[in-house]
Chain A
């Protein structure tokens, strides 16, 4: 089965840029989706189809995907961005949905 690898944690200072990676075999050939989960809350979709933002998600959130790594970029990081972030793909080979292990974003 397909495996998505995320760093367990990323730390960033306020107003700086955070980059959260999601690695997978030839992930650039798949569409990657990203979710934010604040403590005690359900996940919220922040990026879909690699780069698209749902309504209500700030432009500070962007995504990219190429080769073996997809990246969620959060610019001008705010304290309210502190959360766990998960990447997710559809693995066509077995038609299953796969999540990464999650990355805890800490705002210093």
Chain B
């Protein structure tokens, strides 16, 4: 069974750095074609793709947020970590991690974690 679970703070202040961890099981991030992505969803709004990391450790970031994002992985722990700098209230959202197949579609999602940013 493939599972992913997000963890991190529920509340951060403006200008602080957000660090989110995605812990997964049932697959290996070293398997060819496999990746893990972060997607967020502000309350009442649409999904927005943020970043993804591939089995070969290559990374890709949303152009609108690229300067603020860093994506790392720990294959021994089956974890990936996303950091987002200079948080703002508009970054308030539920943050999801998901497995991406062939770099194309997201077949399994975590439950999501709501992060609120206070001014």
Contact = CB atoms under 8 A, between A and B. Distances in A.
B105 A102 contact: no
Interface string A20-63: 00000000000101010000001111001100001000000000
A34 B113 CA distance: 22
Given A42-B110, A43-B96, A95-B60, A88 B105 contact: yes
A1 B103 CA distance: 18
- Chain B CB within 10 A, most for which of A44, A94, A99: A99
Per DSSP, chain B at the interface is: strand
Interface residues of A, number: 23
B52 interface: yes
Contacts of B108: 45
Interface string A83-108: 00010101000111111111000000
B106 A88 contact: yes
Interface in B22-62: 37, 39, 46-49, 52, 60, 62
A42 B105 contact: no
A3 to B, nearest CB: 12
6 contacts: A42-B96, A43-B106, A48-B105, A86-B47, A97-B37, A97-B49
Interface of B: 37, 39, 46-49, 52, 60, 62-63, 96, 100-101, 103-112
